[in-house]
Amino acid sequence: MSTSILHKAISSVKANLPEPQFALGKSARKDSVWSVAEVEALYELPFHDLLFRAQETHRRYFPDGDIELATLLSIKTGGCPEDCAYCPQAARYHTDVKASKLLDLSEVLEAAKAAKAAGSNRFCMGAAWREPKDRDVEKVAEMIRAVKALGLETCATLGMLEAQQAQTLKAAGLDFYNHNLDTSEDFYPAVIQTRTYQDRLDTLDHVRAAGMSVCCGGIVGMGENRQQRAAFISRLANLKPYPESVPINHLVPVSGTPLAEQKKLDPLEFVRTIAIARITMPSARVRLSAGRQELGKAIQILCFQAGANSIFYGDHLLTTGNPEAETDRHLLSELGLKIRETYKSEVSI
């Protein structure tokens, strides 16, 4: 991107900084189009100006300031045929992850009950598939119905979906489907070659057409540059509509994967990414996902200040560690942050 274009975008962004009475400008409009240059300009703002704008946006769209607690359970671990460079579940990499079969319904239900008892609002089920077979979808649909009956909001991430599979999951009561873009389209081939960017967009289209909400985000710190991070956020923000839930992961390098030795991203750059996700997708739940533990307490606090209002909650996050539930609750209490009230299911099964 030329320097003149970036400077012009920075001037435009600065001119639209909110006044104390909250004049959000374009981020208040659901039909906004965020160019890569405009998102990159947000990254160039002074840190405190960026956080101020993000906090103003957050207060307008989430006046209660509550935090959503989501629990993620791996219902089928490892053995994945994909080559995602960050993922220890890929069968081709030599990691500590052992492949396992799909969990029984009773095991999933036990985990969901424990999650609800610990205060979770949303229960997410993840399976290490490239794409599920129809028989797999039917088994997951049974899990969804059982979890919904507990009064929990449901989410699943199962890989690529066909249109009919998305309809089956919707009929079972699935609220959200997670399918991340992971990064910008131009950086994507450096991370994944077994699935195209368009494959991911097609699955999101099937999910929307089925009437489900979208959970879609990605990972920062994989070696992408700032412009590529801006392009990633721009693509998310310009989805029509943008995702209702946006998980932002901080890369956790895992021994045995191609990104095991990846240099760590500056923590403040991660905070900036959270703030920009909040500004460009103002009504979304912006979730702190993998990598929270490595960031430490102070950076997590800055992320909440920047507009994060959802966390993955519990002892494990698929195959990586996660801060313990009690530690999370203590931190939220210290900050005076409220926990979102438990989701009330309208489905009776």
| Under 8 Å between Cβ of 100 and 130 | no
Q: What is the DSSP letter of 116?
A: H
Q: What is the pLDDT of residue 325?
A: 76
Interval 209-228 mean pLDDT: 97
**One-letter amino acid of 39:** V
| Under 8 Å between Cβ of 278 and 86 | no
Which is higher by pLDDT, 127 or 1? 127
- Sorting pLDDT into bands at 50, 70 and 90, what band is 291? confident
Give residue-wise pLDDT tens across range 56-74.
Answer: 999 999 999 999 999 999 9
Q: What is the pLDDT of residue 349?
A: 31
| Under 8 Å between Cβ of 326 and 119 | no
Which is higher by pLDDT, 344 or 54? 54
Which is higher by pLDDT, 162 or 19? 162
Distance CA 194, CA 84 (A): 8
Nearest to 93 by CA among 219, 181, 194, 221: 194
Give residue-wise pLDDT tens across range 249-265.
Answer: 999 999 999 999 999 99
pLDDT averaged over every residue in the chain: 88
Active-site residue numbers?
80, 84, 87, 124, 155, 215, 287
Q: Quick one: angle between helices 297-305 and 267-280, nearest 10?
A: 20
Q: What is the pLDDT of residue 346?
A: 39
Give residue-wise pLDDT tens across range 102-158.
Answer: 999 999 999 999 999 888 889 999 999 999 999 999 999 999 999 999 999 999 999
CA 128, 132, 133, 139 torsion-angle sign: positive
Whether the predicted pLDDT of 20 surpasses 50 = no
Whether the predicted pLDDT of 55 surpasses 80 = yes
Which is higher by pLDDT, 64 or 29? 64
Structural domains in the chain? 61-335 (3.20.20.70)
- Sorting pLDDT into bands at 50, 70 and 90, what band is 7? low
Whether the predicted pLDDT of 32 surpasses 90 = no
Q: What is the pLDDT of residue 28?
A: 42
Structure tokens at 151: 């009064």
Query: What percentage of residues in the chain have a pLDDT greater than 90?
Result: 74
Q: What is the pLDDT of residue 294?
A: 85
For residues 254-274, one letter each, b for 16 or more C-beta atoms within 10 angstroms of the residue's C-beta and e for the rest, the string is beebbbeebeebebeebbbbb
Lowest mean pLDDT among 14-28, 39-53, 167-181: 14-28
Q: What is the pLDDT of residue 8?
A: 57
Structure tokens at 152: 């929990």
What CA–CA distances, in Å, run from 260 to 52, 79, 88, 93? 35, 19, 10, 11
Q: What is the pLDDT of residue 292?
A: 84
Q: What is the pLDDT of residue 323?
A: 52
